A and B are shown apart, each in its own frame.
Chain A
């Protein structure tokens, strides 16, 4: 009797939790959507800021800025089509962003429109991300002309990123993205997620990673291919 009563109680409790979970889940979904919407609007705002800046500077400065802008007419809408985040593919225009780096400086993608950019998304809890990290250090040591490297930490606190940089002594640019604003422009199901961007256009997309040596060869090959074009 007691067992039956207890099991009944467990069933009722689980059903209640399920109901609560469903409600929370729905709320969570709404919350996510709202967050996405707000981030989307923030992103649009940020994009428009980026879009306007070159315009205002172009008026003052040389016509090269104007040329650059004409080369990337879709940049402002690269990720945000009909309010939805677009999953990027090879051939897509790389969405612009400005990131704050662990060394205190900033990195703006559009400032590297003439370069090949290796853009990586990682986190300290991600095993494959950590294992491939030395590859970026090796690429930086190669000192290839016209190549920029940027690793963006996915939504971890600054102190965590700082601890990683301090412990490993990495010298390549590592950016904070505590709120996931940059990641919003480069949506991915999983990390590590690495893109090779050639003159503002995505040339290669990598999901996951092997060891540092393998990744170094892979990325270097892709970069050299872009530089040769």
Chain B
């Protein structure tokens, strides 16, 4: 009984643990003061606003935007290195296990209502997040000097930082205006959408998921498909609630829900030394692709280490900490 319970809810526990770990400054929720310790110099893997009173580390997406904002004065080696390392080792496994906002969306989807099933339309909509990444995370910070995603869209920022801090700090209430109202409206729409449509924010809008999706074919840890066992019945794809075309593609959040649906036990979690996007038709092409993936991984590892070392030598850790210990008014819809 206990074993079955653990087997069934293991991912939930990991998600809960991650959410608690990211936000373990419990005192902040009563005082309305954000954490200012050294741990704010680290990025957590999932989407978690660093202006949240409970947050003990930085949000990778917020860090990337502020780093891009001042990139002409200082190149963001440290933040880019962190992204590369997280993507390379975990990929979208982070979405499935280590993202508090993903966890919240899954809980909301448990509310018994009619559900919108995946279709060609949702598959097309899943490309939207790449547009959000390009416009709100890259273009707006570089051109308009504003963390576009945090300022106009991020529901996690409104939920974790905007609403609690505005409730807890009277002086911030006076600063709220149309932008705050807009952000609360965006949050409500996204949360409502999640009740009817599984992880709708992750699937259609999340730029962090879009970044990690580029790493899915080369990430070390995650879901693996044993091609010698696979009978290509597509049971895994049919049962998956995400817009996947095959296991481990860019939309796969590595949640492992497909494992129990595989009739031949061909899917499992694992560490791969050769990449995990399988399905090659011939032995020759399979070998060539594996070789290419190994080379790509080596290049990416070297690049990640080089970026991190350069970033650390360039005061990157301290810079990130200095940003993350301050309330981001824009994340909250203020300013």
Residues of A within 8 A of B (CB): 2-4, 6-8, 10-11, 14-15, 17-18, 21-22, 24-25, 27-29, 31-32, 123-128, 130-131, 154-157, 160, 163-164, 167, 180, 188-191, 207-210
Excluding A25-B25, A127-B69, 5 further A-B contacts by CB distance (< 8 Å) are: A6-B270, A17-B21, A25-B35, A127-B144, A207-B171
What is the bound-complex CA distance between A208 and B327, given in angstroms?
A: 10
What is the bound-complex CA distance between A127 and B330, given in angstroms?
A: 8
B38 engages A31 (CB within 8 Å): yes
B335 engages A25 (CB within 8 Å): no
How far in angstroms is the closest Cβ of chain B from A19? 10
Is B189's beta carbon under 8 Å from chain A? no
Would A2 and B269 be within 8 Å (CB), given that A7-B11, A127-B147 are in contact? yes
Is B17's beta carbon under 8 Å from chain A? yes
A160 engages B39 (CB within 8 Å): no
1/0 contact string of B27-48 vs chain A (CB within 8 Å): 0000001111111000000000
Question: What is the interface of chain A mostly: helix, strand, loop, or mixed?
Answer: helix
B328 engages A14 (CB within 8 Å): no
Contact check: which of A31, A127, A155 meets B37 at CB < 8 Å? Answer: A31
Contacts of B327 in A (CB 8 A): 189-190
A123 engages B20 (CB within 8 Å): no
Is B291's beta carbon under 8 Å from chain A? no
A208 engages B17 (CB within 8 Å): no
Task: Using CB atoms, name the residue of chain A closest to B326.
Answer: A190
Contacts of A124 in B (CB 8 A): 69-70, 73-74
Is B67's beta carbon under 8 Å from chain A? yes
B73 engages A164 (CB within 8 Å): yes
1/0 contact string of B309-325 vs chain A (CB within 8 Å): 00000010011001100
B39 engages A28 (CB within 8 Å): yes
What is the bound-complex CA distance between A32 and B39, given in angstroms?
A: 11
A190 engages B39 (CB within 8 Å): no
Interface centre among B21, B35, B72, by most chain A C-beta atoms within 10 angstroms, is B21
Contacts of B259 in A (CB 8 A): 3
B326 engages A7 (CB within 8 Å): no
B14 engages A10 (CB within 8 Å): yes
What is the bound-complex CA distance between A190 and B24, given in angstroms?
A: 21
B70 engages A14 (CB within 8 Å): no
1/0 contact string of B168-183 vs chain A (CB within 8 Å): 0101100100000000
B146 engages A127 (CB within 8 Å): yes
> What is the size category of the interface that chain B forms with chain A?
35 or more
Contacts of B256 in A (CB 8 A): 3, 7
How far in angstroms is the closest Cβ of chain A from B49? 13
Contact check: which of B37, B322, B334, B335 meets A29 at CB < 8 Å? Answer: B37
Contact check: which of A3, A18, A127, A155 meets B21 at CB < 8 Å? Answer: A18
How far in angstroms is the closest Cβ of chain A from B13? 6
Contacts of B20 in A (CB 8 A): 18
Task: Using CB atoms, name the residue of chain A closest to B69.
Answer: A125
Instruction: Please report which residues of chain B, range 139-163, place their CB below 8 angstroms from some CB of chain A when the two chains form the complex.
Output: 141, 144-147, 151
Task: Using CB atoms, name the residue of chain A closest to B256.
Answer: A3
B56 engages A2 (CB within 8 Å): no
What is the bound-complex CA distance between A115 and B30, given in angstroms?
A: 40
What is the bound-complex CA distance between A180 and B141, given in angstroms?
A: 25
Would A11 and B56 be within 8 Å (CB), given that A4-B10, A189-B327 are in contact? no
What is the bound-complex CA distance between A126 and B172, given in angstroms?
A: 18
A14 engages B323 (CB within 8 Å): no
A125 engages B72 (CB within 8 Å): no
Task: For the complex of A and B, list the 10 residue pairs with the smallest distance between their C-beta atoms, beginning with the closest.
Answer: A28-B37, A190-B327, A6-B269, A125-B70, A28-B38, A7-B10, A124-B70, A127-B146, A208-B335, A125-B66
A189 engages B17 (CB within 8 Å): no
A208 engages B329 (CB within 8 Å): yes
Contact check: which of B6, B39, B147 meets A25 at CB < 8 Å? Answer: B39
B73 engages A32 (CB within 8 Å): no
Contacts of A18 in B (CB 8 A): 17, 20-21, 24
A32 engages B14 (CB within 8 Å): no
Contacts of A127 in B (CB 8 A): 69, 141, 144-147, 151, 330, 335
What is the bound-complex CA distance between A209 and B37, given in angstroms?
A: 26
Contacts of A3 in B (CB 8 A): 256, 259, 268-269
What is the bound-complex CA distance between A192 and B315, given in angstroms?
A: 22
